[in-house]
Amino acid sequence: MLIADSLDESGAIAAHFSAARTRVLAALTRQFFDLDMAEEAYQEACKRALERWPLQGIPRDPTAWLLLTGRNATIDRLRKDKRLVFKDALPDVPVEGGNIEADIAELIDTAELRDDVLRLMFMCCHPDLALQDQLALALKVIGGFSVDKIARAFVVKPKAMEQRITRAKKRAAAIATQLESPTLQERAARLKAVCVMAYLLFNEGYSASGGDVHIREELCDEAIRLVRLLIRLFPSQAEVMGLLALCLFQNSRRGARLTSDGRLVALEDQNRTLWDQIEIAEGRVLLEKALRHGRAGPYQIQAAIAATHCRAQQAEDTDWAEIERLYAALEQVQPSPVVSLNRAVALSKTSDAQTGLAYLASHATTLDNYLYFHATRASLLQSAGQFEQAIAAYEQALLLGPTGQEREHIHQQIGSCKKSEKNIVTV
């Protein structure tokens, strides 16, 4: 019994650490203008917490406790090292005894902390950094993932990942410490950039392009956590709510997307009873809440599309007319060839494959090197009974580096096209 309880406690302490991590690190980074020093300070604070919390109990405000302890420990060390004479506006608050929470309550300015966290996140999506480096850095700095785990997520050797993160961090940190408290416009721009990064992170986990499935799920969870934190900090941003809804709708299909041997199952073939209804319900509420703002941006519209799929109990029940309207709306606010491609698919469902093909034809030029463009076009041609052209399109798709599973699927389709073609000739 005693052993079980102490196990519970160490688990609870670890959970408090990771829950507090982003906020503490963000505030410490502003204090010391140095990310490495902030990370060391956080580590030191956790070390001291592990000594004290089991005896004194978990404090009411673990974030404040860790922040203050990390800050004081670092100031002490700097003074001892005589590396610099540290001066700041905060009074020294003894860590031993006393009611730390009450002492520090007024030191933590909610609005300031909000911008600190946003700054830390924004630092990770610096445009000079390659996309994968942005995600690796975000996982390390915001998520507190170990380098080993990040290396496994991206299927890279740990040593190489370590070097990449170190390089990226140096580059980003130099910029981040110069970031002033943002104006209204700057804050909006930072939020937008962080949302893009969070969604990329989610997709990195969601696309089954390799690596360990369990780690990929952790990437999705981390992305969702990051967006939740953004909503807590900036509660009335409709697009951030839309993004969370979108992630939740997609994540709800997690249990139905892969076969037991790790093969991807297409949306229309998924066992929909495996979709997580709790996540879907939460996504729906968030979307309703976002739409109240009356400014439907790209994340909200994509979430609405995902919601429409989630509403259909069977693939045949899908409201394609609604989906087609939503893709038309998305084309307005965020025009892109991929959006038009999806609209063409929706059109082929609401009317016929010919209509979809006609729509596709008017957008064809820009997507020549996109595998899914050719695969989708091939499938539409196949439905329209134009087998010879379908085979040509499938063959073009094969040239654009499909995964093993996609290659197999394409070959199957080519086979069935050839069969249908033969039947037509012989009949």
For the record, the structure tokens of 213 come out as 């499935």
**Pairwise CA distance, residues 246 & 306, whole Å:** 7
Q: What length does the chain have? A: 427
Q: Which lies closer to another protein via its Cβ, residue 28 or residue 161?
A: 28
21: closest CA among 4, 1, 45?
45
DSSP 199-231: HHHHHHHHS-SSS-HHHHHHHHHHHHHHHHHHH
Residues 6 or more apart in contact with residue 129 via CB below 8 angstroms:
137, 168, 171, 172
> Largest Cα–Cα distance of the chain, in whole Å?
92
Least distance (Å) from another protein to the CB of residue 286? 6
Q: Which lies closer to another protein via its Cβ, residue 240 or residue 390?
A: 240
Residues 6 or more apart in contact with residue 306 via CB below 8 angstroms:
245, 246, 249, 250, 283
**Cα atoms in the 13 Å half-sphere on the side-chain side of 76:** 13
Q: Which lies closer to another protein via its Cβ, residue 159 or residue 232?
A: 232
CA distances from 106 to 25, 86, 100, 111 (A): 18, 21, 11, 12
Least distance (Å) from another protein to the CB of residue 293? 8
Least distance (Å) from another protein to the CB of residue 92? 24
Q: Which lies closer to another protein via its Cβ, residue 103 or residue 319?
A: 103
Least distance (Å) from another protein to the CB of residue 278? 7
**Pairwise CA distance, residues 419 & 274, whole Å:** 35
User: Which amino acid is present at 350?
Assistant: T
Least distance (Å) from another protein to the CB of residue 241? 7
Least distance (Å) from another protein to the CB of residue 173? 25
For the record, the structure tokens of 109 come out as 């300015």
344: closest CA among 315, 373, 366, 312?
373
Q: Which lies closer to another protein via its Cβ, residue 128 or residue 288?
A: 288
Least distance (Å) from another protein to the CB of residue 172? 24
Q: Which lies closer to another protein via its Cβ, residue 254 or residue 343?
A: 254
Q: Which lies closer to another protein via its Cβ, residue 61 or residue 319?
A: 61
- Residues forming contacts to another protein in the complex (CB under 8 A) are 8-9, 11-16, 18-19, 58, 61-63, 110, 221, 225, 228-229, 231-232, 235-236, 241, 244, 277-278, 281-282, 285-286, 289, 292
User: Which amino acid is present at 331?
Assistant: E
Least distance (Å) from another protein to the CB of residue 62? 8
Q: Which lies closer to another protein via its Cβ, residue 277 or residue 366?
A: 277
